[in-house]
Amino acid sequence: MNKINKMLFLCFCVFIPFENTRLSAIGGVLTASPAIIFLFLGLLGCLLSIKKVNTKFFILFIILHILSIGYLLYWSMIFPTLDIGFIFDRGVRFFAIIMFYFGAIYYSMRQSEALLIMGGKAISIVILFSLLCNIFFPSLIYNPSFLHANEYFSINRFRGFAFESSSFGFQIICAVFIIAIVYKLNLVFTVLTATALGILSTSKGAVVVLLLSLVIVFLLIKRIAIIYKLILIILSLIIGSFIVKTFLLSSFVGDIENYTSVATRLTVFLLGFKTLISYPLGVSYFGFLPYFYENGKDMMYFIQQHSPFLLIFSEVDEYFQIGAFKSIGTKSTILDLVVFFGWFFVIGLSVFVKKIFSQLRKKGNYILLILSVFTLLANIFFISSLTLYLTPFLIGFITKLSQQE
């Protein structure tokens, strides 16, 4: 049984970087990665081996799903023109996606430290191989094939085996830090390599979030005196400003002036935060889409009135038409979960993050701490899919290594 579990988990890890294969034709985004096959089999083995159910977890699970049914009825009354069958169908899909996402976290956290390290090596090798493919065999990456279900028109941006450039930037930076942790590489060398490959990946979000993570970690380190922290932060800001100005600024300006992505991301991002006020318990699976229909236009008009830039809202405006569902979300994994579960999720995440950061600060494992902060911020600001399983793996990887004596 242990050998089968080991094989399944390593296969799961090997296929994590593949985020956009032709398998999406079977079940949409849920089956886009072959990793889902091995995750399902691995979870089945885990569930069969459970001897006792956590009562508190089970009660919370039941409460959340009773709320889900209540929201199904609530939203069907608010939008009488919206087919209740449509709400139910999309809600069930969200339920499946979220169960597999949290299942991937559970599956990863069940593994031994040694197996997680092996899995980390496998993931990193595949990601670095995808970088080489992007450089030397670009047609394999940009054209439709089994590896990619769709053509990629931004041929000046890398995407490896990931869904798009932002996700690939996250992958490549995480791969560098995993390798550094496993082989105990120098911190400065690791940061410089990760920054260089992040720039090469052309992911603006990944590079900016990495630089922000470094500043936060400087603040978290206990052993550095305040004066040195200030010097390090000032140097980081100067270097970060140079990198942004030299490599990223023109791209940012172009996005604001010529594309809809900034308006779209800003609108749905703020909608994620609004949930905590409007629906403190979240809107659950059946309320996710109706929540955007109900609140989207008001948020869009609010931004139009207060933004110093002339933003293009044509894309996001389509999200708020009753019956729309494609690509709708907050463009943030964390905020998507906030919309689903409200303060339940915020409180749980806060407790977990505080515990992990505290353990890593005490141990002085700064490379792992940077990876932890980067993973958290990336899933707040630019990683936006609950069907990408690198983050669930990293949660298990970071948790196990933070408990290391």
How far is residue 244's CA from residue 208's CA, in Å, rounded to a whole number? 8
Place 324 in a pLDDT band, splitting at 50, 70 and 90.
confident
Q: How many domains does the chain have?
A: 1
pLDDT digits (tens, 9 = 90+) for 41-60: 999 988 877 777 677 777 77
**Cα torsion angle, 363, 369, 371, 375, sign:** positive
- Of 138-147, 199-208, 305-314, the range with the lowest mean pLDDT is 305-314
Asked if residue 332 lies in contact with residue 379, where contact means CB atoms within 8 angstroms, the answer is yes
pLDDT digits (tens, 9 = 90+) for 50-100: 777 677 777 777 777 777 777 777 777 777 777 788 888 888 899 999 999
**pLDDT of 222 strictly over 80:** no
How far is residue 402's CA from residue 113's CA, in Å, rounded to a whole number? 10
Tell me the backbone φ, ψ of residue 259, rounded to 5 degrees. -125, 165
Choose between 348 and 145: higher pLDDT: 348
Asked if residue 180 lies in contact with residue 367, where contact means CB atoms within 8 angstroms, the answer is yes
What torsion, rounded to 10 degrees, do the Cα atoms 255, 258, 260, 262 define? 30
Range of the domain at 123: 2-52+83-258+364-402
Task: Taking residues 116-134, report their average pLDDT.
Answer: 95
- Per-residue model confidence (pLDDT) at position 307: 75
pLDDT digits (tens, 9 = 90+) for 242-301: 665 665 555 555 544 444 567 788 888 899 999 999 889 888 888 888 888 888 888 888
**Cα torsion angle, 122, 210, 348, 336, sign:** negative
* Percentage of the chain lying above the pLDDT 90 cut: 39
Choose between 311 and 45: higher pLDDT: 45
Question: Is 127 domain-assigned?
Answer: yes
How far is residue 169's CA from residue 157's CA, in Å, rounded to a whole number? 10
Question: Is 300 domain-assigned?
Answer: no
How far is residue 122's CA from residue 115's CA, in Å, rounded to a whole number? 11
Question: Is 267 domain-assigned?
Answer: no
**pLDDT of 362 strictly over 70:** yes
Q: 54 vs 59, 61, 292, 306, 341, CA distance in Å? A: 9, 11, 34, 48, 20
Choose between 189 and 284: higher pLDDT: 189
Task: Taking residues 187-214, report their average pLDDT.
Answer: 88
Question: Is 306 domain-assigned?
Answer: no
- Of 122-126, 136-140, 151-155, the range with the lowest mean pLDDT is 151-155
Q: C-alpha angle 382/110/127, rounded to 5°?
A: 40
Question: Is 189 domain-assigned?
Answer: yes
Question: Is 231 domain-assigned?
Answer: yes
Task: Taking residues 96-121, report their average pLDDT.
Answer: 94
Asked if residue 232 lies in contact with residue 218, where contact means CB atoms within 8 angstroms, the answer is yes
Question: Is 264 domain-assigned?
Answer: no
**pLDDT of 202 strictly over 70:** yes
Question: Is 329 domain-assigned?
Answer: no
- DSSP designation for 99: H
Tokens representing 373 are 């902060």
